[in-house]
Amino acid sequence: MTEQKINILPDYMTALNAVDQFLTLNNRELILPMLRTSVIASPITNIEDLQIKSFSGSTKNFFITVDKILFKHIEFVDEKIRPNTFEEFLNILTSDDKNTMLYGVLSASFDTLDKRSMLCQNCNEEIIFDVKLDEMVHEDTFKNQWNKPVSVIDWRETLDIFGNGQLKITVKYMVESDILKMYEGNSNSKIKKLLEETGKPYSQSELTAATIDKIEIKQANDELLILDNYDSIYNFYTKAPIQLQKKIIEKIDTIELEDTMPVFYQEVQCPKCTTNNTFYMTDLSKDLLNELYKLL
């Protein structure tokens, strides 16, 4: 008996998907601000768009779905940097590069996003407008790039918390796999609440633990104890005395890193008084998350 392949898609969708394979008209080339490398973003298919828009499940799985779409539609020009597996991709993906990729894939796929509204800064008139993706990149959008001699992925900085070598904390730059670990233990309602209250989808403690690569503690017998996984670091940090938590945060805050977040914005003219207003789309990941919570 031969196995028959069943096509569950309507034929026009199959045809559109086939066209997607060879249509490269809309491909967009961008430079990632953190990895400082060229990528080519290709348009998503209707099915992938539907997958995102009809998602139901955990926040972690939502982001895995989005990340898989990015992995498929972002081509690294330099093969020395190009990730071979999805896991490798998650380990080199920082939030500023992810925002850049999201922009690339969205602008390769759509001319406009859903309508938005803002109040005119001059006359307070409500302006309803289309987000025009082609108009969101300006000279200063990617003004700042990662500027350390070592790559963002290999960058580490060790902080001696008390200055006597007893407690050392090594900090890294958070990547997508760290962020997914943060989401793992949290329900959608908890993440939604955090987002509403703090504007961030994770708590300060989770963020701190995800930023720490390892903790070295000199024990009484001079033996070195090393914590180097997220759960141990999170538990150590959250159960540490408040004064120590503060000290750790203070030390981490002394590290100066350039603000590399790409700034996407669009000039929107008020129809009433003709004043130009600036609409900022600063964090596409957060925008997507907000879209997700409208669905759930």
- Which of 101, 169, 270, 292 touches Zn ion (CB under 5 A)? 270
CA torsion sign for 157, 84, 99, 77 is positive
Of 286, 50, 65, nearest in space to 191 by CA: 286
Number of DSSP helices (H) and strands (E) in the chain, helices first: 11, 11
Amino acid at 287: D
Residues 92-112 as b/e (b if ≥16 CB within 10 A, e otherwise) read: bbbbbbbbbbbbbbbbbbbee
Residue closest to 102 by CA, chosen among 269, 286, 293? 286
Q: How far is the CB of 131 from Zn ion (least distance, A)?
A: 19
Site for Zn ion in 132-171 (CB under 5 A): none
Segment contacting Zn ion (CB under 5 A): 66-74, 86-94, 177-185, 262-270?
Answer: 262-270
Stretch that binds Zn ion, among 81-89, 128-136, 219-227, 273-281 (CB under 5 A): 273-281
Least gap, CB of 269 to Zn ion (angstroms): 9
CB of 274 to Zn ion, least distance (A): 7
Which residue(s) pair with 212 in the sheet? Answer: 171
Whichever of 166 and 269 has its CB closer to Zn ion, that residue is 269
The piece of 149-157, 170-178, 206-214, 268-276 that touches Zn ion (CB under 5 A) is 268-276
Q: Which positions from 275 through 294 interact with Zn ion, judged by CB under 5 A? A: 275
Q: Can residue 269 be called a binding residue for Zn ion (CB under 5 A)?
A: no
- Site residues, Zn ion (CB under 5 A): 120, 122-123, 125, 270, 272-273, 275
